Structure 1
Amino acid sequence: MLCTDLSQITSSIHGENGVIEGYLFKKTSKGFKSWVRRWFAIQNNQLIYKKRSGSHNALSIMEEDLRLCTVKPAYDTERRFCFEVLSPTRSHLLQADSDTDCQMWITEITSGISKAFKDAENQELKQEEEDSSPQENTTVENELPTTPKLSKAQIRLQQLFSIPGNDHCCDCGSQDPRWASLNLGITLCIECSGIHRSFGVHLSKVRSITLDAWEPEQLKVMAELGNDIINRIFEKNVDETIATRATTECKRSIRESWIKAKYVQKAFVMKLPGPKTTAGKKIRGWSVKKKLRRSPDKVTGDQSDNELDVTSGLMEVMSVSTNNVLNDSDSGIGASASDVIVFGTDLELPDLGRSISIESSDESDTGEMKVKTPSQQLPGKI
């Protein structure tokens, strides 16, 4: 019988102690890469599995530290309801029994990763408070209290917070962020950092300010950017009809939609201006015809003197150009001696009008080729 009650589905996945557990299909990495059904659970920031529930079989650890992993839906597979757990070295493909179970596993694993980071931060803060508390010296009464020495993480935190806007989350405005995106140069709260991490390192490379090791070059990138500069770029034209702005107390769906529209779709970035058109300039058309070459001495006697002068002048230029082309072809330059094209006004030829006839020894039945140029004066030489 199909179960439609969400509470029954949830109870079949969650354990009594609040730790998520349930059956998933796992794709093997050896042999024929078949699918096997295993009982999975998240315990102590680890993703573990065994053959069946309640059995005394040895547990297998799929991922030892979930803080180094991310989870996302897998659509390009031969099965439905699949999701992928990605670690720095491996990728695990898992399948749930339904789409509801698949989304629930993704949400719970993401929450487990965030919880693991919060626990680590709280433990570190507690250790810092214990180290920075003044210790009483009963033997020497006049001894001055020593100034507690700052750790590298505390120094790094102070350096990043000194950059304008970095003392609050770049996306939702939460105070005292402890995460950063290295390639974007911004600081983030733990909720927003989880969404950035789900997009992949090609979009946002998330690191903990206090827990992870940093290279000097990464600090230089953060110093050159910062939340104020990035928000002036990615929030230049905010349109909340596209996505509602994220706040400190907003739901995860609102936060995810805002961050995706801001960085993935770049919906609020100012658009570049289009190409400027030269308005007001007239366009003049030129037609070029290709005709057979005619010798000047074969011109008929009924031509007018004006036409004869024009043709004779053009033939002189063609004759000189033809000799030059023939000389070039003799020297190894592959040029055609039949087609001659004359450009420019420095040749001191009379104006031929709107149509330029280019004579050739090759017959051609092709039509006219129209070339549009601005109405400004042609250059003198090409």
Structure 2
Amino acid sequence: MSWDFSTEPEFEEKLAWMRDFVKNEIYPLEVAGLDEEQYKAATAGLKQQVKDKGLWAAHLPPELGGGGFGQLKLGLMHEILGSSSLAPSIFGNNAPDSGNAELLAIGGDDFQKERWMKPLLAGEKRSCFSMTEPGAGADPTRLTTRAVREGDEYVINGHKWFSSNGSHADFFIVMCVTDPDAEPHKRASMILVDRDTPGVNVLRDIPVMGGSHSAGDKGHAEILYENVRVPASHLVGQEGDGFLLAQKRLGPGRIHHAMRWLGQARRAFDIMCERVVSREVSGGFLRDKQMIQDMVATSKAEMEAARLLTLQAAWKMDQGGTKAALTDIALIKFWGAQVLYNVIDRAIQVHGSLGITGDLPLEEMYRNARAARIYDGPDEVHKVTVSRRVLRDYEPVEVPTEHIPTRTAAAKAKFAQYLEAAS
């Protein structure tokens, strides 16, 4: 099979505009120290420019207000947006809102799209994906939050944490068990819950590595749902569809994560290389030191490998859907996160004490990079997925019962017979 990652000139022009826009308009906001209201005012005009270019919410099909670009082109776009933590929200595709909009586009009915998805796409509402629970870890089959059907309502009780954007969200998509007796992957469903529903208690934002206090930070909330009553019409899809919808949501999302990591890694790499060609130490420039040259070369190789793997996953998904790219998606999730961590770590090392200060973006990048190896499934889970899918294509072979020395002697005897016959 051959892969084609080429794009037409018109799309390349869009990418060029995005690069300039992110660098010249968004990077300065990172150090502006704006509060929430100032941030909204400063970004309103920028968001309009994005919309005028037809690049707002590009992850969705045209009929839902997106660009219909496909995963390969989206990957190239996310590579640019990943260089700044503020860029995705200004382009209308920041997590978790982008994944939640995709989920509602796939599983929501007309009522749900009108009430929640359209305001979300317009930037009028913010959302939260509330699935992770204390104790369940990376195994969603161990979820305990329950939704019990009572007449025309569901009553939800449970304890969630790491519900990203929960402190700011206008509504929540809650993953909860609707049939505890069903098979593990049919037990859970997704239900929409408005923030002002009685019984929704946002306890706190969990202080985490990689968290910040900037206006654009989404936070990771701990939430108690206590006798939360919502109409049955808030159920997304059918009962038991929770895992199916989650997988459809996470597939594209992981590709987007991996490409954003490449953008972040590239920015750290550029900062490192600028330092290397300017810093004099021990009678010469850092660029002339072999250990530094190794850091630069290894970082470049890792980034290029991660980029090709990610584009391949995106291309396969465009050709055959999420199922065709499952192995590739799992591969880039752990490989991309590790490459991001490695490159930023080297960039910090090259800068010495300056690298761990807040005067450069590297220390915040570093904290975020470490967290990337855990969220959306830890590295180990994805490695297990890759290993299982690879090994299922191999058949066991019969192990010879004779001893290796005996086999070696037999081989020598046959070789001697061959030489005798040849002579």
The TM tier, using the shorter chain, reads under 0.3
Query: Which structure carries more relative contact order (alpha carbon 8 Å, separation 6+)?
Result: 2
TM-score (norm 2): 0.26
TM-score (norm 1): 0.28
The higher radius of gyration belongs to: 1
> Quick check: which one's strand share is greater?
1
> Quick check: which one's helix share is greater?
2
